[in-house]
Amino acid sequence: MNRIGKVFGKLREKGEKALVGYITAGDPSIEKSFEIAKTLCTAGVDILELGMPFSDPTADGPVIQRASMRALKAGMTLQKAFEFVKRLRKDNIETPVILFSYYNPLFRYGGDRFYKNALESEVDGVLVVDLPPEESKEFTEKWNGWTPELFSFIRLIAPTTTPERMGEILKDSSGFVYLISKTGVTGSEEILPSSKGSNPRDNLDYNEISRMVQLIKTMTTVPVCVGFGVSTPAQAARIAQIADGVVIGSAFEKTIEEHQDNIDLLRILDNMVMEFKKAMVQQKP
């Protein structure tokens, strides 16, 4: 069992859900991004998701698109991302790390080289946004000796995925299943004002998310985490009642963008992680 499985096991024992924190590796600079990653891990994210900056991130909204551009400008590459994770391990960070990428940079890097470097760097898994199950064999068949227990291949399920298609996607899913909370791209619109009063109206359909999670759980024992559009502790708390984990990405990246020159950036992010965790723990069954 790799680090991801161990984390979900420990959380189940405590009756808690996983906080998965996403940042774009290399944003706003490689050194500052490294300190941000360490801060998120020590503050309490259960799994760190490192986005590989890509010039054409079709699944990402404006916040993460801008983060990718800053990281590319700072010189971030896949090879440097592996060195990034090695440094985290040398600093005794044991938080599971997964890479979030598109297939183009991985294909160019080479499937066999990617897998070898990922294991050497103690990366725990990968999520490839635009690689469907039917085409992924050309990537994974180059992973000599690969088993899902050693290195997780995390799959995405969208709100529009049919039950038949879910079955195909879940056949090879490991680590956790990433359920997209709503149609569209990453990032959330501001919480909308209610048409009936001054209270803000949440833009997530929790009944539909719950239905999708329950449907997935009839098909697999792999944990289900929900992301895309989850941006506040209150939203995370509600998702934690439904799923095994919550992915927070654009909220962290928006803070990094707004405070990239602020000497208190790490303290602000530390507080954010603790607020998300506190809200999720308070919703324990």
Provide the annotated active-site residues.
Answer: 49, 60
| b/e code 46-65 from CB counts within 10 Å (16+ = b) | bbbbbbbbbeebebbbebbb
Residue with tokens 């899902």: 148
Tokens 């183009």 — which residue?
A: 104
Neighbours of 208 (CB within 10 A): 12
Token couple for 109: 């890097």
SS3 128: strand
Give the integer Cα–Cα distance in Å for 81 and 99: 9
The radius of gyration of the chain from alpha carbons, rounded to an integer in Å, stands at 18
Cα angle for residues 126, 234, 12 (degrees, 5° grid): 50
φ/ψ of 202, rounded to 5, equals: -70, 145
Tokens 């599971």 — which residue?
96
Q: How far is CA 143 from CA 96, 110, 115, 126, 200, in A?
A: 20, 10, 6, 13, 48
**220/167 Cα distance (integer angstroms):** 9
Looking at this protein, which amino acid is placed at residue 70?
R
